[in-house]
Amino acid sequence: MIIRSEIKSNYTCIQNSLLNDSSLSCKAKCLLIQLLSKPDNWNLNINYLASQNKEGKYSVRTGIDELMEAGYIHKIVTRDKGKFVATEYLIYDAPVSHDQAMQDGKIEISKHPYPKNQTLINTDILTSTEGNNCCTDEPELEQEVITPPKQQQFAPAISEKQYLLDLLPERFRTPIVESYISRAISNHDLDTVKDAVKYSVANVKGGHLQFKSFLDKCLRGKWSEGYSASLNFSNVNVSWDTGKFPNGSFTGSRQMDSNVFAAAQFMASMEEVRS
């Protein structure tokens, strides 16, 4: 038996299809409901969401990633001549196509006639929409450069730099590493730097200088290409007799096989220098 209280105000309407979506975990569903309960101009902030729930920042971030993979959150990146300007996250209560999400993003832009001579602002905006929703990790598309006006924010937006710093263990969070990551963001797209940071964290056992050096080599040599793909095989049964995954690779990604070899050589040389 379900006993319901009478609701007269302060409530959120949610489609049952969202609640019954078997592709989502309970954590992702609850996080999405929490996001949809916010005002339309509410800005994405991992720290704020973590402070309002028992889950930590990492757990909240994985929930956001799950919703993006399932199609409930879509990321739109705005660039000016190839340089990053802003990232807008569109939140939906049901999945939509990538093209539909891009069209919704353009409609949101057209609602705000921004002056052309204002300074560009780097901000991550989380927009909640009615009855629509989608997100994929398809290539970032350049949009018309816009200048977001100053507006009331219910929580400060999380920057791309802070997003990456949150992935680092405490021993790597030094001014030298932070400065390098800032430069990396301006020279590479976010997904490339994110994979490189994750791969470096997984491999470097030394201090922050070794981490910075490894990360630099990782980005220059594209060692982390295929790293995310290899992680997708973490739950796949592996034939340990042959040492290969179902696709014939040793890591889950053929590209990653060659990258692992290059990274191993570099780490071996670093150990020789230390000794």
Q: Give yes or no: residues 107 and 189 share one domain.
A: no
Whether 9 maps to a domain, the answer reads no
Interatomic CA distance for residues 267 and 204, integer angstroms: 8
CB distance 180 to 216 below 8 Å: yes
Any domain includes 137: no
Is the full-model pTM beyond 0.85? no
- Whether residues 174 and 88 share a domain: the answer is no
CA 214 distance to own-chain centroid: 22
Distance between CA atoms of 3 and 47, rounded to whole angstroms? 34
Distance CA(194)–CA(71), nearest Å, equals 20
Same domain, yes or no: 267 and 227: yes
DSSP codes, the chain: --------SS-----HHHHT-TTS-HHHHHHHHHHHTS-TTPPP-HHHHHHTSSS-HHHHHHHHHHHHHHTSEEEEEEEETTEEEEEEEEE-SS---HHHHHHHHHHHHHTS---TTSPP---EEEEE-SS------PPPPP-----PPP---SSPPPPHHHHHHTTS-GGG-SHHHHHHHHHHHHHS-HHHHHHHHHHHHHH--S-HHHHHHHHHHHHHHTTTTTHHHHHTTTTS--BTTTTB-TTS-SSS-HHHHHHHHHHHHHHHHHHHHH-
Q: Are residues 92 and 186 in the same domain?
A: no
In a domain, 184, yes or no: yes
Compute the average pLDDT of residues 138-152: 37
In a domain, 264, yes or no: yes
Which single residue is written with the structure tokens 């592996």? 238
Mean pLDDT of 35-39: 89
- The answer to whether the CB of 172 falls within 8 A of the CB of 211 is yes
Q: Do 164 and 269 fall into the same domain?
A: yes
Q: Are 93 and 70 in contact (CB under 8 A)?
A: no
pLDDT above 50 (res 246): no
How far CA 63 is from CA of 25, 59, 70, 99, in Å, comes to 8, 6, 11, 23
| Length of the chain as a residue count | 275
Is 198 part of a structural domain of the chain? yes
The CATH number of residue 84's host domain is: 1.10.10
Both 110 and 189 in a single domain? no
d(CA 104, CA 242): 49
Average pLDDT, the chain: 71
Tell me whether residue 114 is in a domain. Answer: yes
User: What confidence tier does 31 reach under pLDDT thresholds 50, 70, 90?
Assistant: very high
Same domain flag for 47 and 97 = yes
Contact 70, 29 (CB under 8 A): no
Is pLDDT of 34 > 70? yes
The residue among 109, 128, 147 that closes a domain is 128
| Residue 236 and residue 248 in contact, taking contact as beta carbons nearer than 8 Å | no
Q: What is the pLDDT of residue 108?
A: 58
**Domain membership flag for residue 134:** no
> Does residue 2 sit within a domain?
no
Amino acid, single-letter form, for residue 153 = Q
Count of structural domains within the chain: 2
Which residue would you say has higher pLDDT here, 119 or 116?
116
Q: Tens of pLDDT along 151-172?
A: 333 333 346 778 888 889 989 9
Residue 227's domain comprises 160-274
Query: Would the pLDDT of 252 be above 70?
Result: no
